Every structure is written in C-alpha cells, then in structure tokens.
Amino acid sequence: MSVKTITKQNFHREIMNSAKPVLLDFWAEWCGPCRMLSPAVDALAGERPDITVGKVNIDEQADLARQFRIMSIPTLVVLKDGKVTAQKAGVQSKENIRAMLYS
C-alpha cells in the first residue's frame, strides 16, 4: 500500500472513513528529522496492507496541524475508528512505530 498525501479536502474521506487503523506523519520539507523518519514510515506502508498511512505537510495543511495540536515535527499519530490512540513526536524506529499501532 502506498502513502497517501492528506489534505484538508481529503481528510474525512481518507482518514475518518478508514476501516483500517491510520498512521499519520506530520512533517515539513525543511525538517531534517522528518526526512530521517520518512523511510521507516514508507517501509511500513509497503509492508502493512492492514493500515492506512498518510502524510500531512504542516506548511500546506496548517488547519490539520492545529486540529491535532502538533507542536513539533515529526509527529506520528495513530487513529482507530476516528479516535487518536497514540501520538509521539520525534524520530521513531520502525519497531516503535509498530508498537504505536498496537497500543
């Protein structure tokens, strides 16, 4: 499964209506740690067809960043049935991200 670019326009359709758990990566182009995290997020998207993976560019989607109270990036958010079940800021290992999905 590929990573979806999440915008204010497709958020409800792609995320809130997802029957699968959702992993959202809040990031920005200028963020070095975000670039370090990206390969792990991309790998999980390819390995785990049972989850929806989306990326939210905070510079382009400031409303979504505010909605999730994103204070630093990168921040990963896991949603199940439209509710946040886990949220962590900073670079995470693939193992830590997997653990977030099961919390």
Distance between CA 12 and CA 90 in Å, rounded? 26
* Beta strands at 22-27 and 75-80: parallel, antiparallel or unpaired: antiparallel
Active site residues: 31, 34
DSSP output for 27-57? E-TT-HHHHHHHHHHHHHHHH-TTSEEEEEE
